[in-house]
Homo-oligomer: A and B are copies of this chain.
Amino acid sequence: MEMGVVVLLITEYKGKTREYVATVSNESFHTDLGIIDMDDLLDKEPGDTVTSHLNHTFFIRKPRTPDIFKHAKRTGAPMMPRDIGIIIAYTGLNKNDTVLDTGTGTGVLAMYMGSIAKQVVTYESNDAFFKVARYNIKSLGYDNIELRHGNLLGEILHMDEKFDVITLDTVDAGRIVPDVVNILHPGGFLVAYSPFFEQTKEIREAINNAGFMEVSTIECIERNIAFTDRGTRPASSRVGHTGFITIART
């Protein structure tokens, strides 16, 4: 592996799995199970192991996007995979895309989109959220995400960039929509995520007034199927509401 690559170091301790996020470098990485020389990983591959100075063995795993959920610092409930999946699939997000996103929050959606798209610009106005998002994006190794500290609601008026997909997860969504149409490429998609009906309705009205096409609002409900010795059935565990996803196209 090369310098700068982010890895997961996984081990078992007292019957429980522990995972650490670390970066291949010339420095040492301190865990409560010993210190690891991170340049030891230069001649290793994911699937290999590395040993700490306390002789504890760690399995090296290449992190993938879903690992974000375990390793990002949280500043609120992050968007759930099923909703992220709806956004990606319905917009057809792809590696040629340039994306605009707000509010960043924990950064989970921005990082997911960053793993797919060419470039993601994401706005967060809250100071504390901004700092955590900055930490998450840097430590998890997303270098095509440009995190901007500010409120898109005001800034959008002065932007001369254009985007393929714009994602809004903010109470300001209804007020941002009218200006979004000017910075979306023809054929591009607007997405707004909103937990409440009232807010979703406001967004729909703004979208209708702004003259979008192919407008729909989706709620994605996920059921887990449990396979046990007693039999197979939908899990009795929680299948709660997260939010409504409104999608519109230019």
* A interface, CB within 8 angstroms of B: 8, 46-47, 60-67, 81-82, 84-95, 112, 115-116, 164, 185-189, 195-201, 204, 216-225, 227, 230-242, 244
Contact = CB atoms under 8 A, between A and B. Distances in A.
A209 B115 CA distance: 32
A90 B66 contact: yes
Given A232-B197, A241-B234, A219 B227 contact: no
B189 A220 contact: no
* Stoichiometry, copies per complex: 4
A58 to B, nearest CB: 13
Contacts of A234: 219, 240-241
A29 to B, nearest CB: 19
Contact of A186 (B62, B164, B189): B62
B218 A187 contact: no
A220 B82 contact: yes
A198 B186 CA distance: 34
Given A92-B65, A115-B92, A217-B227, A237 B237 contact: no
Pairs A-B, 6 closest by C-beta atoms: A65-B92, A196-B231, A85-B85, A85-B89, A47-B186, A236-B240
